[in-house]
Structure 1
Amino acid sequence: MTSTASHKPILDKPFVLDLFAGPGGLDVGGHALGIPSLGIEWDKSACLTRYAAGLDTLHADVSAVRRDAFESLPPEINVLAGGPPCQTYSVAGNGVGREALEEVKKYIERLLTKGESDRKIDKDLKTLSGDPRTAMVLEPLRYAIQATRSPNRERRPYDVIVLEQVPAVEALWHHYAKVLKEIGLPDGTKYEVVVKVLDTETYGVPQTRSRAVLIARREGLGAPSLPKATHLPYEAKEWNRRSDQASDGVYQATLDDGIAPEAEEREETGGEARQHWRSMGDVLAKPVGTHLGRATPFLVRSNYGSSGIPGRRGVRSDRQPATTVTGRISRFVVFQHLDEKIVYEGPRFSMNEAGMLQSFPPDYPWSGTAQAQQVGNAVPPLFGAHLLSAALGLPAPDPEVMREPWEPATEEKRAKLRSHGCGASDECTAQCPRPEDHAPPSSSARPRKNKKASAP
């Protein structure tokens, strides 16, 4: 851990319940801080990755656990965390969640109104936006309420709540903050809350990714604060792209201006020394674990809108941070040998390289199918560690911890984790959720028919 300031942890033994846990981003961040966690995740492949990584997991639907198995959760859990599904809120999604934000706010008041049954609210939520994932953003609040009703917990509220989502949900987090501070939970518990959109590259993640975060502490535990940025924000330079189509159909591109600053250089910003943002080359060029390093220089043409604008592809060099890593990371095209004026398409990012751009440790054991989607959906572990450290009064994490190769679980431990999470040591059981239960209606999918790819 790296810190020159004094820190006073607010909890003696933090234990995190990670809702919508994915392949383990927040849990890996907690691991770097020495914090135990239990994750709830409905996707089978993400659970396989978690079991392989040795992370305690319930392969279950978050809503179902709250309704039917809340009393089975460890009573010592005192930190609630999660990043609800973002597809319907993201600019890359179909947007039905953004249209339903005002309606979702009304449900927050209903949840905090004494006397209205969960059954009635669940029935009404089924009609919300036509996509079952939209209502999932309410689950953290419903868990916070349920904790105050749980005999197994002696009706103790969670001490800390940490949430993150795409920037479009910032307004909803502000509404969360308002009710947690002014109205409180039905038992009277109130929280001090901070909300803001943060940029992950300012915390050492080699990727530009903005997230709306909420950090809440129960009254009496002190006012929460946002994590202090450790790196400078990325500011796009003047990149001059020359798209001369060569005879073999490959595009050439050249860099116009100076070299990006080295990661170890520091600048004084607001009276504090910050490192420069980390580039793709900073993390991928150097060998670590079984990663042999990637030859530089290279250019990356993303398959995702640049600067949050869908339809406009971005091109960046190894001397820049990656664009937002999404489930399309496997489609990013990498061009190499730029220094010799010979440009050709090189190997695309492996899953371990994609994970490293998210700040996952090298050799993280990605498993199951749709691995690119797992990587793209995950909370960047280093960013997650910063959120948890700020929420719990701990020193900021050392980014180099995430560079250490991950030790996968033994077959024995993996079987034990799956037996706990799925009900059997080598397979899913009837208690495991079905993927179709959270699938959006077919009408909400964006049309792809006859859609042609555009040039970089």
Structure 2
Amino acid sequence: MTSPAPHQSVLDNPYVLDLFAGPGGLDVAGHGLDIPSLGIEWDRSACLTRYAAGLDTLHADVSAVRRDAFESLPPEINVLAGGPPCQTYSVAGKGAGRRALDEVKKYIDRLMAGDSDEAVDEELKTLSDPRTAMVLEPLRYALQATRSANRGHRPYDVIVLEQVPAVAPLWQQYAKALRETGLPDGTTYDVSVGVLDTERYGVPQTRSRAVLIARRTGLGEPSLPPATHRAYEAKEWNRQADPTAGPTRQPTLDESDEPRAEAVRATGDLLPWRSMRDALAEPVGTHPGRDRAFLVRSNYGSSGVPGRRGVRTDRQPAATVTGRISRFVVFEHLSERVVREGDRFSMNEAGMLQSFPPDYPWSGTAQAQQVGNAVPPVFGMHLLSAALGLPVPDTDVLRKPWQPATEEQRAKLRGHGCGEADACTARCPRPEDQTPVRSVPEKRVAVPAT
């Protein structure tokens, strides 16, 4: 079968299962596209954020749901999505990341060859870090769907995965297995894999992600989402502007010149990347706006000038937003060379730099960690649109203030997600296990798309 006609959805009624759902990045993306989703998330505080945002949630361990409650998932779900924990795949350190990649590749092949879950689980217990095995869960969900076919489930039509660039070789291994080996019932997939930079999709930060998009064979060859914005080049910026000398700005469209912006989109030309100022300058919802120029100093490098590690102006995209965002120091310009004592981004602002809507209801503890670990919703809209054959999305819908759930809605969501309207229950992960996974900065990695 050839690819579907442009902008013709490959599914009539997409319904997303979001593994490792966090505070809701992919779910918010689905909301922007009018696509329903169900998220599985183990962290209590992230679930509190999800309930406050009105997102359908299971407060549970992804592995436990697969083993013990897969048949309870809605059989209408036809899109599998997620971004497993990534920390053990860092290319930094003494080679542990590379060894993890090689180990997991072998487990991918073994699972596809039919090795039992019990045997694989027993061996996975020997891994030095249990998070290493989490990257196998999307594949195990795809396999489980074929085993539950007699209970109303069937293979997922579309699979969308994202992770730090170092995980790209595992997505390549996934792609080979899904194309060539296929699932036990004979289902195979057409797959595209690549590393994408989120500022090229309108996210006001530099962040690289390894992406896999798969469609069940017969639904058309998938493509990675086309870039809509220009790439940010740190070296080029540093040749043009001194980060401490005050704001300079890339050539850009006047934000008030909407007809011209529409013309740029219509002709396929790339829009300028969005800066921190583009995201934060104007007041919206409860956000008062940052009308003064400012500098941001992060606590890690960002390919800047030696001696000025991690310093960017408001005219640049933010450095990668991680759980360290609460440590970023923001200095406002009072004159060309005088700045006011630094402050910090609010959680609302941090979320907006991740492309969450203003007034997203961050809740619970470790909110900076929730923000940093999330999928940028604007990027998620592009991923889901490309996976489903939809047109390039209008992401401006996510620039409007988010309407939180009512108390009644939260109680209903929590009753479904935890078992009771106002508390966790025995089925929820244990409180002592609720320490969030730390997020780390990512290095850009060049990986050819397939």
CA gap of 1:331–1:407, structure 2 versus 1, over 3 A, is same
Aligned to 1:21: 21
Displacement after TM superposition at 1:339 (Å): 3.2
CA gap of 1:91–1:424, structure 2 versus 1, over 3 A, is farther
Is the partner of 2:309 in helix, strand or coil? strand
Aligned to 2:118: 119
Q: Give the stretch that moved more between structures: 178-187 or 62-71.
A: 178-187
2:140 paired residue among 117, 138, 142 = 142
Displacement after TM superposition at 1:99 (Å): 2.8
CA gap of 1:322–1:178, structure 2 versus 1, over 3 A, is same
Which has the larger share of strand?
A: 1
Deviations 1:110-165 (A, max 9, x none): 10113x2211100101112x111110000000000000111465451000000000
Aligned to 1:194: 192
Contact 1:131 / 1:440 at 8 angstroms: preserved in 2? no
Asked if 1:328 is matched to 2:324, the reply is yes
Is the partner of 1:313 in helix, strand or coil? coil
Contact 1:88 / 1:98 at 8 angstroms: preserved in 2? no
Aligned positions of 1:18-57 closer than 5 A: 18-57=18-57
Aligned positions of 1:354-393 closer than 5 A: 354-393=350-389
Aligned to 1:421: 417
Aligned to 1:106: 106
Identity of aligned residues (%): 74
Contact 2:179 / 2:188 at 8 angstroms: preserved in 1? yes
Q: Give the stretch that moved more between structures: 96-105 or 33-42.
A: 96-105
2:7 maps to amino acid: H
2:221 paired residue among 223, 231, 247 = 223
Contact 1:87 / 1:93 at 8 angstroms: preserved in 2? no
CA gap of 1:352–1:95, structure 2 versus 1, over 3 A, is farther
Asked if 1:208 is matched to 2:206, the reply is yes
CA RMSD of aligned residues (A): 2.8
2:249 paired residue among 259, 272, 289 = 259
Contact 2:88 / 2:100 at 8 angstroms: preserved in 1? no
Which has the larger share of helix?
A: 2
1:166 paired residue among 160, 164, 167 = 164
Displacement after TM superposition at 1:305 (Å): 3.2
Contact 1:97 / 1:134 at 8 angstroms: preserved in 2? no
Aligned positions of 1:288-367 closer than 5 A: 288-307=284-303, 313-367=309-363
Gaps of 5+ in 2: 255-259, 441-450
Q: Give the stretch that moved more between structures: 364-373 or 178-187.
A: 178-187
Deviations 1:76-111 (A, max 9, x none): 000000000122224689974443100100001110
Contact 1:133 / 1:438 at 8 angstroms: preserved in 2? no
Contact 2:194 / 2:210 at 8 angstroms: preserved in 1? yes
Contact 1:147 / 1:153 at 8 angstroms: preserved in 2? no
2:46 maps to amino acid: A
CA gap of 1:400–1:16, structure 2 versus 1, over 3 A, is same
Q: Distance in 2 between matches of 1:303 and 1:434?
A: 32
1:260 maps to amino acid: Q
CA gap of 1:153–1:386, structure 2 versus 1, over 3 A, is farther
Q: Distance in 2 between matches of 1:411 and 1:438?
A: 24
Deviations 1:264-320 (A, max 9, x none): 587989x83110000000010001111110132100000133249xx9831100000
Aligned positions of 1:237-256 closer than 5 A: 237-238=237-238, 253-255=244-246
Q: Distance in 2 between matches of 1:290 and 1:213?
A: 34
Q: Give the stretch that moved more between structures: 394-403 or 104-113.
A: 394-403
Aligned to 1:453: none
Is the partner of 1:17 in helix, strand or coil? strand
Q: Distance in 2 between matches of 1:241 and 1:228?
A: 29
Aligned to 2:272: 276
Q: Give the stretch that moved more between structures: 314-323 or 259-268.
A: 259-268
How many residues align structurally?
426
Displacement after TM superposition at 1:341 (Å): 2.4
Contact 2:372 / 2:439 at 8 angstroms: preserved in 1? no
Aligned to 2:176: 178
Q: Distance in 1 between matches of 2:375 and 2:74?
A: 23
Displacement after TM superposition at 1:396 (Å): 1.6
Contact 2:230 / 2:271 at 8 angstroms: preserved in 1? yes
Q: Distance in 1 between matches of 2:414 and 2:137?
A: 24
Q: Distance in 2 between matches of 1:397 and 1:234?
A: 21
Deviations 1:242-273 (A, max 9, x none): 8xxxxxxxxx92249x532225587989x831
Displacement after TM superposition at 1:425 (Å): 0.8
Moved over 3 A (4+): 90-98, 151-155, 239-242, 263-269, 435-441
Is the partner of 2:194 in helix, strand or coil? strand
Aligned to 1:12: 12
Displacement after TM superposition at 1:186 (Å): 1.6
